Amino acid sequence: MAVIICEAAFDPWQAVQNHQNSQLADGQYGATATFVGTMRDFNEGDDVCAMTLEHYPGMTEAQLEQIIDEAKNSWPLQDALVVHRVGEILPGEPIVLVACWSAHRAAAFDACRFLMEALKSRAPFWKKETLTDNSQRWVEKNTDGYSH
């Protein structure tokens, strides 16, 4: 299980590959579920050209580790990885990766969804957008994570 907070741009697919190669044994898992959140260049009807992601060092890691513990207690997970960007971010860059490994797909799918939704509601990160006229605004709420 790993939590990584990074200030530099990261490649989520490389992070999955690296974690799998270093932490998981071939043949021990049958399912990998991943979620990648990427920065858009639009929000609430406006063009967005950059974003600053602030976090609460120490609490962020503690909350994410707590959330992973809850997932481990609810599903038979082989492993989980959460990577989250902070600092200055540009459209097209990945913001977050959640990856879950398990023997069968149910646990990987469900735990991945749980981790992402719990991160969105409990991990102390805040987004500040820069619009094309150089004005800035805080994002004040999350969109609904479910489509129904």
Partner 1 sequence: MTVNVKFFASMRETLGQSELRIDIDTDTEQTVAGVWAQVAGEKPMPDNTVCAVNHTQATPESVVKDGDEVAFFPPVTGG
Q: Which residues does residue 53 pair with via DSSP β-bridges, in sequence order? A: 87, 127
CB nearer partner 1, residue 24 or residue 131? 131
Stretch that binds partner 1, among 24-32, 53-61, 72-80, 105-113 (CB under 8 A): 53-61
CB nearer partner 1, residue 100 or residue 116? 116
CA pair distance 124, 64, nearest whole angstrom: 9
CA pair distance 35, 47, nearest whole angstrom: 24
CB of 68 to partner 1, least distance (A): 15
Select the residue interacting with partner 1 from 96, 100, 108, 111 (CB under 8 A). 96
Select the residue interacting with partner 1 from 6, 9, 49, 59 (CB under 8 A). 59
- Find the Cα–Cα–Cα–Cα dihedral 39, 45, 49, 53, rounded to 10°: -50
Nearest-CA neighbor of 54 among 131, 130, 126? 126
Select the residue interacting with partner 1 from 22, 141, 144, 147 (CB under 8 A). 141
Q: Is 72 in the site for partner 1 (CB under 8 A)?
A: no
DSSP state of 145: S
Neighbours of 22 (CB within 10 A): 8
Stretch that binds partner 1, among 10-18, 71-79, 104-112, 126-134 (CB under 8 A): 126-134
Q: With beta carbons less than 8 A apart as the criterion, state whether 47 and 132 touch.
A: yes
CB nearer partner 1, residue 55 or residue 72? 55
Residues engaged in binding partner 1 (CB under 8 A): 37, 53-56, 58-59, 62-63, 84, 95-96, 116, 119-128, 138-142
